[in-house]
Amino acid sequence: MKNLVEERAVELGEYIVENKATVRAAAKEFGISKSTVHMDVAERLKKVNPVLYAEVRSILELNKAQRHIRGGLATKEKYRKIRDY
């Protein structure tokens, strides 16, 4: 059981690095919760694969820094669709 969780953590880390994905996107892709993704990449991955963990951390920090921009763009798009309807 523990080995499967560690494998999932590595798979999540690789997915995030390859796709520069957010925690939400990874959760949706793997069909698990955001909390599980965060636990896997923040705690389990650090123990299993520290090099991959460092790469994932840098991507997640970048996503965190950009999230206010994404939110604004999503709101803008929402109201554009309403207006054009």
Q: Tens digits of per-residue pLDDT, 70-79? A: 778 888 889 9
**Three-state SS annotation for 37-58:** HHHHHHHHHHHHCHHHHHHHHH
**pLDDT, tens digit (0-9, with 9 covering 90-100), for 13-43:** 999 999 999 999 999 999 999 999 999 999 9
What's the chain look like in SS3?
A: CHHHHHHHHHHHHHHHHHHCCCHHHHHHHHCCCHHHHHHHHHHHHHHHCHHHHHHHHHHHHHHHHHHHHHHHHHHHHHHHHHHHC
